[in-house]
Amino acid sequence: MKTDPAPAAPADPLRGRRILVGISGSIAAVKLPLVVSALAKRGAQVRCVLTPSAAQLVSPVALASLSRERCYLDADQWSHTAARPLHVELAEWAELVLLAPLSATSLGRWVYGLGDTLLAATLLATEAPVLAAAAMNTAMWSSPGVHGNWERLQGFAGVLPLGPAEGLLACDRQGSGRMAEPALLLLALESLACWGWQRDWHGRRLLVTAGPTREWLDPARCISNPSTGRMGVLLAQAARLRGAAVQLVHGPLQVEPAWLEGVESHPIETGAELQQTLQRLQPQVDAIAMAAAVADHRPARPLAHKSDKAGCAEAMAAGWEAVPDLLIELVQHRLPHQAILGFAAHSGEVLPQARAKLARKGCDLLLANPIDQPGAGFGSALNQGWLLGPGCAEERLEPMAKLAMGHLLLDRLGGLLATRCPA
């Protein structure tokens, strides 16, 4: 039998990009060699610039080796053999800048326009988008001066600021100050590379559901599905990077934990828990993306204690009841300005089933994706399908990374919101 060839995977958006990595003096600098190595392995061209404090914390020799390029220090800035100032050369060479970790001192220099180190001068001279990940001691982070400087940075066009996460710090403080994890830095760079710098979701509130639900027969057995939550989580993170306040309600996930940083997370397990959480959160948001793979049935008589095989068979024979359709409930309780995106997983002929599902569920947009094709489906890095929308519009979406798909869906949802509550 002749089968269709698998579609070519879309190119990595970081491949061939010129990325300048600026490292300043925070102990989180020790994580940067891993980031630089990952970028180089993905085919990016990487150059590193270190402040004098950073050069005490992380080896410029290691960074040069991992980036396959020389590493730049303050001592390199002025040379009678260079035709142009180094900070201008580097600033114009960069297509993207990763500034991580961003220390209190480097933040202060930047927002006050001071260029007294190679890195500080390069930041002032660059017109490339900058991903800036702060890291410092908890008390420093909450001091009024740093807080004020961080607030000022929010208004800088082209800058994507990633505030620090909570955790145990190297100074033994427990609190806010940890640099965003390397996995999130890579994702945010990929987002800048494939969709550019956008803050169009700033001021909007988005609710996303992701992952599977589980319905328990007894404490050891459940019915569920293979959803990993990747599509919903990446949509949520893309919205956060575009400035949205994001609530993420999710079942058990199989994704990088760092991809959840910066979104408000509500873990759930069963359809009933998901239903309660949606009822509580729906009135607080402008848009909803229902990417969760909700298990359709639950045991009519679940057992409180683990049964033996015979007891399990008896419990299954007692029958199953339908889990309420939560997307339909969301549509029934929709506020006038709210936009709702549903998902539809299908095998075989996708479009006819998707048209019927859109009519039945009544959401504004429906992404129908095949789960039996290469380049889509549970756990795949890619997604594809049809986006069905208002006025029976049907848009074919070729295979693309789930992060890019998340951005595309945000464009369409954002467009709908703009028509409902124009600025």
Of 187 and 340, the one with the shorter C-beta distance to ligand CTP is: 340
State the minimum distance, in angstroms, from the CB of residue 98 to ligand CTP: 35
208 binding ligand CTP? (CB under 6 A) = no
Between 176 and 275, name the residue whose CB sits nearer to ligand CTP. Answer: 275
- Work out whether 350 is an interface residue with ligand CTP (CB under 6 A): no
Cβ atoms of 128 and 94 within 8 Å: the answer is: yes
Torsion of CA 179, 132, 145, 105, to 10 degrees: 90
Asked if 292 is part of the footprint of ligand CTP (rule: CB under 6 A), the reply reads yes
- Least distance (Å) between residue 331 CB and ligand CTP: 10
Q: How far is CA 48 from the centre of its chain?
A: 25
Q: Work out whether strand 245-250 and strand 264-267 pair parallel, antiparallel, or are unpaired.
A: parallel
- Binning the chain into helix, strand and coil, the percentages to the nearest 5 are 40, 25, 35
Choice between 169 and 345, CB closer to ligand CTP: 345
From the CB of 244, what's the least distance to ligand CTP, in Å?
19
With respect to ligand CTP, which residue has the nearer C-beta, 14 or 344?
344
Nearest distance from C-beta of residue 407 to ligand CTP, angstroms? 19
Which DSSP string do the residues of 300-344 spell out, in sequence order?
SS--SS---HHHHHHHHHT-EEEPP-HHHHHHHT--TT-EEEEEE
128: nearest Cα among 160, 155, 102, 95: 95
How many Cα neighbours within 13 Å face the side chain of 234? 26
Amino acid at 107: L
Question: Applying CB under 6 A, which of residues 162, 344, 358, 409 lies at the interface with ligand CTP?
Answer: 344
Q: Kindly give, in sequence order, each residue whose CB lies less than 8 Å from that of residue 156, ignoring residues fewer than 6 positions away.
A: 111
Q: Is 323 in the site for ligand CTP (CB under 6 A)?
A: yes
Can you tell me which of 193, 235, 345, 404 binds ligand CTP, judged by CB under 6 A? 345
Residue 225 near residue 323 (C-beta atoms within 8 A): no
Q: DSSP states of 395-415 as a string?
A: EEEEEEEHHHHHHHHHHHHHH
| CB of residue 287 to ligand CTP, shortest distance in Å | 14
Closest separation in Å from C-beta 301 to ligand CTP: 20
Residue from 58, 104, 288, 327 touching ligand CTP (CB under 6 A): that is 327
When binding is defined by CB under 6 A, the residue of 19, 234, 294, 382 that contacts ligand CTP is: 294
The stretch near ligand CTP (CB under 6 A) out of 41-49, 157-165, 187-195, 320-328 is: 320-328
Nearest to 365 by CA among 290, 259, 295: 290
Q: Is 194 a catalytic residue?
A: no
One residue of 342, 370, 375, 389 binding ligand CTP per CB under 6 A = 342
d(CA 51, CA 74): 7
Contact status: 206 vs ligand CTP (CB under 6 A) = no
**What token pair was written down for 35?**
């980031």
Please spell the DSSP secondary structure of 199-262, one letter per residue: -TTTT-EEEEEESB--EEEETTEEE-----SHHHHHHHHHHHHTT-EEEEEESS--S-GGGGTT
Query: Does residue 231 belong to the site contacting ligand CTP (CB under 6 A)?
Result: no
Q: Does 92 bind ligand CTP (CB under 6 A)?
A: no
Least spacing, CB of residue 288 vs ligand CTP, in Å: 10
Q: Residue count at the site for ligand CTP (CB under 6 A)?
A: 12
Does position 358 interact with ligand CTP (CB under 6 A)? The reply is no
Q: Find the part of the chain contacting ligand CTP (CB under 6 A) among 22-30, 54-62, 137-145, 324-332.
A: 324-332
Selected catalytic residue, list 171, 194, 222, 363: 171
Residues annotated as catalytic are 171
Interface residues with ligand CTP (CB under 6 A) are: 290, 292, 294, 296, 323, 325-327, 342-345
